[in-house]
């Protein structure tokens, strides 16, 4: 081939793909689907044999499937309908985890179909940068493939933080990924870290009848929540027998064949059948050879991006947990879509909604959207509160889901909805009704909507009407 012909060929097809995406979690999937719909030639790389990322295999999906099973078990044992007719039911961790495995299988099948139908090339292997346009993929058989693209998206997610002084290879020491491969039936567990993951697993294990010690490194549980909701969770865990220790730091961990002993800096020590370390996560960037692309992650393995999810290297984007806040699967998918739009149209101003809902799958659930009472008070915004207790709702009485409440915060003068906070069964579903009204503009976002509309009866959604009337009755 002559030099002229070689140059011509290079000009015709300078890259193998328009975009390469690293990671098939929600962020990578969102970007891939949006780009493929816009007729871009896309390759997506996954280091594991199945697509879905940590969200599908170790995080959101399996832990929520586990929680659902435990919640239904608790509901069955507490129901007056079955009381006296049968002895209390119990399930082993293995039995419950088998249900989670089936959910994972269905999710993988579904998501694999998305890539097939949209003609996205899926490549299995470990990806790393050679330069800002070239990716090296090391496959399971040790073979190496190199591919190039005009643009690259990093959507590698995160993994549990593991301090060096704790032996995570010990069979009684787990993190939030490995806990789902629990092989024995613990009668007691110590959970270090009372964030979202730690609080969720405290609920799950207590629901299974396991003795739980929850060690919180801060002064209160989930301090980003509205104080009343945080207090409700603390009380509910305490009332169910969870021992919560606030403001504690781990000093060292002793392990043996039958137990673990956790020594705290305060001098306290606890013994249990196993330890779940759930104190922080780190961006999945250490194996990417970022320096070859001109990038550097921060101390938590995370990358900085602009409002279009573009890193400091113009053709490289990043989405999902690897960029930090809000570290939600739902937000990651939208970030992927928005990054794809920005690649296609550099003038795109699309961005995530300001009020991203939070769903915490404790037992019962917690969900919030908008401002907390503490934030409104600090900002000197005159607000009022409307409340509805679940125990007063006919649907909650029918379902025997009496624990929980809905709280609406609204402006005293304009009646604009400022925040909604829910604690109770199906809170993560219920919150979306309020979120939809909050997003309305041109005066549509007022608490009076809930009074002037007609709800199905009996429903849990009726809590919005009850809370709205309660709040409006406080005005004078």
317 assigned ligand-binding residue: no
Range of weakest confidence among 36-50, 82-96, 113-127:
82-96
Tokens of 103: 């959910």
369 assigned ligand-binding residue: no
**Model confidence at 80: pLDDT above 80:** no
Range of weakest confidence among 32-41, 60-69, 345-354, 415-424:
345-354
Bridge partners, residue 175, by sequence: 277
Torsion of CA 349, 354, 356, 357, to 10 degrees: -140
SS3 category, 460: coil
Tokens of 251: 């000093």
* Per-residue pLDDT reduced to its tens digit, 336-355: 999 999 999 877 777 888 88
Handedness of CA 288, 289, 292, 298 (dihedral sign): positive
pLDDT attached to residue 183? 79
Count the Cβ atoms, other than its own, within 10 Å of residue 46: 22
The whole-angstrom separation of Cα 394 and Cα 390 is 9
pLDDT attached to residue 73? 83
The whole-angstrom separation of Cα 185 and Cα 210 is 9
pLDDT attached to residue 390? 97
**Model confidence at 9: pLDDT above 50:** no
The whole-angstrom separation of Cα 230 and Cα 242 is 15
235 assigned ligand-binding residue: no
Please compute the mean of the pLDDT values over residues 138-152 and round it to a whole number: 96
pLDDT attached to residue 78? 74
Tokens of 235: 């009380």
DSSP tag of 87: P
The superfamily in CATH containing domain 14-159+282-344 is FAD/NAD(P)-binding domain (3.50.50.60)
Percent pLDDT > 90 in the chain is 80
47 assigned ligand-binding residue: yes
Q: Which residues contact 198 (CB under 8 A, 6 or more apart)?
A: 191, 192, 214, 216, 276, 278, 279
Tokens of 169: 């290879």
Range of weakest confidence among 45-49, 71-75, 101-105, 259-263:
71-75
The whole-angstrom separation of Cα 160 and Cα 122 is 26
Percent pLDDT > 70 in the chain is 94
**Model confidence at 97: pLDDT above 60:** yes
pLDDT attached to residue 33? 97
Between residues 12 and 243, which one has the greater pLDDT?
Answer: 243
Torsion-angle region of residue 122: left (phi > 0), alpha (psi -120 to 50) or beta?
A: beta
51 assigned ligand-binding residue: yes
* Spatial contact of 321 and 281, defined as CB atoms under 8 Å apart: yes
Range of weakest confidence among 6-20, 194-208, 357-371:
6-20
pLDDT attached to residue 195? 95
- Whether CATH 3.40.50.720 fits 173-279: no
The whole-angstrom separation of Cα 310 and Cα 342 is 9
Range of weakest confidence among 354-363, 418-427, 433-442, 464-473:
433-442
241 assigned ligand-binding residue: no
Bridge partners, residue 405, by sequence: 389, 423
**Model confidence at 85: pLDDT above 80:** no
Q: What is the DSSP string of 306-346?
A: -TTSB-SSTTEEE-GGGG-TT--HHHHHHHHHHHHHHHH-T
From the candidate CATH numbers 3.40.190.10, 3.40.50.300, 3.40.50.2300, 3.30.390.30, the one assigned to the domain spanning 364-472: 3.30.390.30
Please compute the mean of the pLDDT values over residues 29-45 and round it to a whole number: 97
User: Is residue 83 very low, low, confident or very high in pLDDT (cuts 50, 70, 90)?
Assistant: low
Between residues 96 and 1, which one has the greater pLDDT?
Answer: 96
**Model confidence at 164: pLDDT above 50:** yes
14-159+282-344 and 173-279: identical CATH topology: yes
95 assigned ligand-binding residue: no
Mean model confidence pLDDT for the chain: 92
pLDDT attached to residue 133? 97
54 assigned ligand-binding residue: yes
- The two beta strands, 274-277 and 173-175, are parallel
Handedness of CA 32, 37, 42, 46 (dihedral sign): positive
Q: Any idea where the domains of the chain sit in the sequence? A: 14-159+282-344, 173-279, 364-472
pLDDT attached to residue 10? 46
**Model confidence at 287: pLDDT above 60:** yes
Please compute the mean of the pLDDT values over residues 11-21 and round it to a whole number: 85
pLDDT attached to residue 74? 81
pLDDT attached to residue 6? 45
User: Taking the model in full, what pTM does it have?
Assistant: 0.91
370 assigned ligand-binding residue: no
The whole-angstrom separation of Cα 137 and Cα 423 is 45
Please compute the mean of the pLDDT values over residues 429-454 and round it to a whole number: 90
| CA neighbor of 421 nearest in space, from 462, 382, 388, 391 | 388
* Spatial contact of 362 and 205, defined as CB atoms under 8 Å apart: no
**Model confidence at 75: pLDDT above 90:** no
49 assigned ligand-binding residue: yes
pLDDT attached to residue 93? 73
* Per-residue pLDDT reduced to its tens digit, 209-268: 999 999 999 999 999 999 999 999 999 999 999 999 999 999 999 999 999 999 999 999
* Spatial contact of 172 and 255, defined as CB atoms under 8 Å apart: yes
* Per-residue pLDDT reduced to its tens digit, 299-310: 999 999 999 999
* Per-residue pLDDT reduced to its tens digit, 391-400: 999 999 998 8
pLDDT attached to residue 84? 59
**Model confidence at 88: pLDDT above 60:** no
Please compute the mean of the pLDDT values over residues 426-432 and round it to a whole number: 96
């Amino acid at each position: 081939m002559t030099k002229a012909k070689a140059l011509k060929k290079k000009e015709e097809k300078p890259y193998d793909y328009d975009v390469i995406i690293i990671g098939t979690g929600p962020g990578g999937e969102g970007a891939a689907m949006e780009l493929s719909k816009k007729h871009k030639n896309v390759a997506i790389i996954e280091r594991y044999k199945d697509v879905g990322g940590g969200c599908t295999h170790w995080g959101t999906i399996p832990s929520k499937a586990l929680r659902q099973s435990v919640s239904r078990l608790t509901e069955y044992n507490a129901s007056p309908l079955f009381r006296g007719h049968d002895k209390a039911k119990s399930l082993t961790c293995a039995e419950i985890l088998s249900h989670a495995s089936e959910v994972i299988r269905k999710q993988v099948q579904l998501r694999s179909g998305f890539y097939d139908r949209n003609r996205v090339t899926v490549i299995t292997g470990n990806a790393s940068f050679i330069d800002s346009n070239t990716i090296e993929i090391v496959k399971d058989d040790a073979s190496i493939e190199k591919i190039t693209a005009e643009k690259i998206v990093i959507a590698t997610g995160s993994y549990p933080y593991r301090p060096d002084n704790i032996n995570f290879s010990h069979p009684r020491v787990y993190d939030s990924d490995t806990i789902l491969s629990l092989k024995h039936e613990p009668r007691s567990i110590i959970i270090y870290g009372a964030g979202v993951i730690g609080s969720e697993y405290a609920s799950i294990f207590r629901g299974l009848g396991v003795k739980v010690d929850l060690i919180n490194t801060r002064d209160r549980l989930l301090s980003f929540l509205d104080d009343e909701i945080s207090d409700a969770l603390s009380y509910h865990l305490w009332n169910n027998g969870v021992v919560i220790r606030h403001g504690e730091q781990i000093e060292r961990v002793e392990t043996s064949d039958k137990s673990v002993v956790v020594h705290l800096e305060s001098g306290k020590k606890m013994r249990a059948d196993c330890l779940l370390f759930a104190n922080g996560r780190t961006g999945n960037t250490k194996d990417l050879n970022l320096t070859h692309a001109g990038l550097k992650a921060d101390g938590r393995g995370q990358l900085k991006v602009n409002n279009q999810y573009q890193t400091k290297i113009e053709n490289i984007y990043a989405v999902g947990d690897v960029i930090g806040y809000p570290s939600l699967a739902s937000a990651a998918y939208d970030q992927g879509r928005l990054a794809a739009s920005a690649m296609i149209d550099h003038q795109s101003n699309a961005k995530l909604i300001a009020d991203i809902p939070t769903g915490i799958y404790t037992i019962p659930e917690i969900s919030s959207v908008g401002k907390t009472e503490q934030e409104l008070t600090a900002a000197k915004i005159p607000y009022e509160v409307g409340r509805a207790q679940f125990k007063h709702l006919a649907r909650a009485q029918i379902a025997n889901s009496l624990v929980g409440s809905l709280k609406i915060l609204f402006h005293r003068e304009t009646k604009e909805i400022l925040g909604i906070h829910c604690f109770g069964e199906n809170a993560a579903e219920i919150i979306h009704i309020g979120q939809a009204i909050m997003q309305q503009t041109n005066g549509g976002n007022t608490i009076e909507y809930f009074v002037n509309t007609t709800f199905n009866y009996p429903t849990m959604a009726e809590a919005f009407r009850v809370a709205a009337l309660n709040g409006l009755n406080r005005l004078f």
